Amino acid sequence: MGAPGRFGIAETLTIKNWGDGEVTDIQAKTIWQHAAGDTNRKYVDLCLKWGVILNGPGDYGPWPDCEESLRKDEWSKRKITDLRRFCQGMNDRDFVVLRLGTNSIYGVGQIVGDYEHCEEFNDIDGWAIAHVRRTRWLWKYKENPKKFDTNTLKRGDTTQLLDAPAVKSWLESLEIPDAERERTPVDLPNIGDDANVSVGDISEYLFDKGVASNSISSLLDQIGELIRIANWYNRSKETPSEHETVNYLVVPLLRALGWTPQRMAIEWQKIDVALFSSLPRTEESLSVVVEAKKKDASCLSAFEQARDYSSALAGKICRRIIVTDGLRYGVFVRDSVDQPFSLYAYMNLTRLRNDYPIYECKGVRDALLMMTPEWSSVEGS
């Protein structure tokens, strides 16, 4: 180990066997631990896929221009210090371990270049985390992360210096091929000129796909009402329960999309909202499983629970799963009951987008189309 560094913790380490069995001396290099979400909202795989680590809040603009606005909006001094550490304290070629919780490591990488701000990361399942450090991942988990004793890694701030002897001992044992040490991170997706979608664009798209005019008018009116309700929740600092989210946000949107009460069931067989292709409402006619979380909670993390419900009950025809917090919707689809579900479209009613390159899926127009009762008859048009 070397001398104490700028944050008061020893900063140097010699890591062995990082490339053809030779000792790679990285004296004077800092090693960080960085969190990729929490137990309720994880974005580990996005970090590994795009070669990044992320921090927020990112919707105030790039650092350091955002610092004054963060203070005015009463973000804590601790959070601002954490963000400063991420944007200014990390340096090119520093090392980082990607963690969840205090005992699991999913990746080991090296920082590449300077701090960036990427607007594409400002809606990661509802989190605005557009502060970016490009990262060359040298080691990635496969099926399971590297596990340590609980509290081996530090709680608290997203970005912290690593001072866990057990983790450093493990790092020394890693063998990193030359190809990984020289790999260039993939290019980040850029927001195109046509990224944002207007209400008129949605109307024309749905009409061209065969959705009735009266349904489209009702839907667009309802979207405006839902946004007003959501803004009221934000202004009043209210956090609606899951039941309130379903009743005031989710069901009105589904009704506007054309689902009738006869073909909807709330809290049916453990499913928050069950949608049926025909009557009577049975397991055999279950068409869509809707899993809802309270507003501002992670909706995409609810997919596995909804999938399990679908597998246990739906059997033969359920090909759609919708997960939502009332404003954000992830729509998963499968080609047949023998195939796995995949994320086909994502939408945020307060941020209407044509597609989501980060998720490699479509946006609001296709999400709404896939949520209609007529989807099976218009999907191929």
Write the single-letter amino acid at 335: D
The yes-or-no verdict on residue 111 having pLDDT over 90 is yes
Residue 280: is the preceding peptide bond cis (ω within 30°)? yes
Name the least confident of 150-159, 253-262, 330-339.
Answer: 330-339
Average pLDDT, the chain: 86
Helix (H, G, I), strand (E, B) or coil at 69: helix
Q: Strands, E, within the chain: which ranges?
A: 14-15, 24-25, 31-35, 52-55, 95-100, 104-111, 116-117, 131-140, 146-147, 159-161, 264-268, 271-276, 286-292, 320-324, 328-333, 342-348, 355-356, 361-362
Provide the total of helices (H) and of strands (E) in the chain, helices listed first. 12, 18
Q: What is the model's pLDDT at position 378?
A: 46
Helix (H, G, I), strand (E, B) or coil at 313: helix
Per-residue model confidence as pLDDT tens digits over 164-203: 999 998 998 888 887 777 788 888 887 666 688 888 899 9
Per-residue model confidence as pLDDT tens digits over 53-89: 999 999 999 999 999 999 999 999 999 999 999 999 9
Distance CA 116, CA 134 (A): 8
Distance CA 3, CA 27 (A): 10
| pLDDT category of residue 21 using cuts at 50, 70 and 90 | very low
Quote the DSSP letter at residue 4.
Answer: B
Q: What is the model's pLDDT at position 316?
A: 60
The answer to whether the beta carbons of residues 376 and 209 sit under 8 Å apart is: no
Write the single-letter amino acid at 87: C
| pLDDT category of residue 344 using cuts at 50, 70 and 90 | very high
The yes-or-no verdict on residue 326 having pLDDT over 80 is yes
| pLDDT category of residue 16 using cuts at 50, 70 and 90 | low
Q: What does the pLDDT average to over 313-338?
A: 84
Q: What does the pLDDT average to over 288-292?
A: 94
Per-residue model confidence as pLDDT tens digits over 114-133: 999 999 999 998 899 999 99
Using alpha carbons, select from 371, 373, 311 the residue that is nearest to residue 346. Answer: 371
Distance CA 175, CA 195 (A): 42
Per-residue model confidence as pLDDT tens digits over 79-94: 999 999 999 999 999 9
Quote the DSSP letter at residue 335.
Answer: S
Q: What is the model's pLDDT at position 144?
A: 94
The half-sphere exposure of 24 on its side-chain side, counting CA atoms within 13 A, is 17
